[in-house]
Every structure is written in C-alpha cells, then in structure tokens.
A and B are shown apart, each in its own frame.
Chain A
Amino acid sequence: MNLTLQIPDRLQAEFEQRARERYGEAGPARALQEAIALWLETVTKPDDLKAERALNNQVYRGLKRDLEREYQGKYVVIAHGALQGAGDTLEQVAGLAPEARHRLVFQVGEAPPRRRERLWRMQRS
C-alpha cells in the first residue's frame, strides 16, 4: 500500500532520523508500520475489554440460578465466557484464569447495595 502523509517538517525529520538510527535506511517505513500497529492495539483493547465484560455478564445472568443453588456463599470466577471455578475464599479462586483481560470475581449471594450516586462535582469527559 502506498501512503501519502502530510506531517510537520520537524516531526518528520526527527521521526526519520530516529527510525534510521534504529533500523537503518528502511527504518522510516518499518517504524511507521510499527506505529500503526501500536495505535491499532491501543484503540482496540478497550473494545475487547468491553466485549469480554459483556460476554462474562451475559454468562453470569444465564448461570445465576444455578450458582445460587449450587455455590451459595462460595467465591466464583467467570472469565472467557465460562465459569472457571469456585472456592470458599477469595484467595482460593484468585488464580483462576489469570490471563483473562476481564473476570467476574464475586461471592455468590452477596448483593452490594445499588445506589444512584449524584456526582455533582465530577466532570465526565
């Protein structure tokens, strides 16, 4: 793919210099490719996290009755869209699916009070 970009001269000069220092004559092309990949990774991760979060919560809702029947009072972990295990303490389940970006970790039956929080002072960007 051919790409034509217009960027500030100073930025271009520094970018090309540093890229050549690191990778040689073909450095700018390689560094630009890496930069694009890095940017894509940066903007993709939050979406991946949200997708995993949505999946795990969907699975939780589907399992809720079974969990309350079979694991009342136990700590459980839901990750990768599946129940990963249960234990008597948080420590017993803390190590389950450590590679997962998102996990639900909770005690079955615990119900933190839901509130409507008036956050007058906070600005949401």
Chain B
Amino acid sequence: MADAEKLICWDSQDIFAIGIRLKTPGGQFHAETEEPVELDTGYGGDVLLPWEMYVDLELYGWECPEEHWSVGLSVSGEKFEMPLSRGVLVVPRLGHEFDVRIETFEGNEQFLIGRGFIRRHKILLDGPGSRVCFFADEAEFQNLG
C-alpha cells in the first residue's frame, strides 16, 4: 500500500469518479471548476465525451484522420464511427495535466474516463472507504500513450 500522503482523493458514494477539467488544445475549458467524471474500465479509450460537449468545444477543429477512429458497437449490434480528437485532461487537485485522446459519437451523453487513461496511472478504487484516489507521484509525466 502506498504512502497515504501521496494520495489525492475524491469522495465516492456511488460511482468511482475523479474531479477533472477538460481543455482543448486551443485552451478552452469544458467547465469553470472541476467536475467529477466516472472511471469506466468497460470503455477502452482515454476520454469519452458527450456529443454536444464535443461540438460546443469545437473539437472537430482538432480531429485525427478517420482511418484512426474506433468503431462503436451498440447493444443492438449497430456500428457507428467514433470521431477522435485530442485534448488535455486537467486534474486541478493534483496541479497536473495530461494529454489525452478524446472520442465521442453522435447522440452520446456519457462523459467517461476509460482504460486508456487509467492504464497510464495508479488509481485506487477504495470501495469501503467510499473514495477514489490518485497516486500523485504518477502524475509527474505527461503521456499521450
């Protein structure tokens, strides 16, 4: 178990979430203050953004070529493309920011942090303690993975 003093934690009564602000490469933030965003190991990318937020932030001005986009598969078997852009995930309590890849798809309302980001960091899901903690030492580097 790591030294507790190195942990930056958020209360987590239900979902496991960390407080972040998302920033476009152009410097536009999605929110004035940190917003708890769910950690979801069922999603493989870095960050999944609600479609409207993707549009509002004009992230289509920072897109990667379509040949790099992943394909989404709905419960009914429908396939759909997932536009891929880039941005910066800011963790205000850490005082650090991380380059991330951002995905969305039309109609999506979910805001998630996925395995792509989680696998680059040490994050503690403390169920009995009702908290999520980020190991601060692991925040010293930026990584686009």
Contact = CB atoms under 8 A, between A and B. Distances in A.
Interface in B17-76: 25-26, 42-45, 60-75
B60 A122 contact: no
A100 B62 CA distance: 11
A117 B86 contact: no
Contacts of A121: 42, 110
Given A114-B71, A115-B45, A117-B43, A122 B64 contact: no
Contact of A124 (B43, B84, B106): B106
A102 interface: yes
Interface in B88-119: 101, 105-110
B78 A104 contact: no
Contacts of A102: 60-61, 63
Interface string A61-72: 100000000000
A111 B68 CA distance: 7
B82 interface: yes
A49 B106 CA distance: 13
B60 A123 contact: no
A23 B114 CA distance: 52
**For this complex, into which size category does the number of interface residues on chain B fall?**
20 to 34
Given A117-B43, A122-B110, A123-B107, A112 B71 contact: no
B68 A57 contact: no
B83 to A, nearest CB: 8
B88 to A, nearest CB: 10
**For this complex, into which size category does the number of interface residues on chain A fall?**
20 to 34
Nearest to A60: B65
B69 A122 contact: no
A119 B72 CA distance: 6
Contact of A49 (B43, B60, B110): B60
Interface in A72-125: 90, 94, 98, 100-106, 111-112, 114-125
B7 to A, nearest CB: 29
Given A90-B25, A94-B25, A119-B105, 6 more contacts: A94-B26, A102-B61, A104-B65, A114-B71, A116-B73, A117-B73
Interface of A: 49, 53, 57, 60-61, 90, 94, 98, 100-106, 111-112, 114-125
Interface of B: 25-26, 42-45, 60-75, 78, 80, 82, 84, 86, 101, 105-110
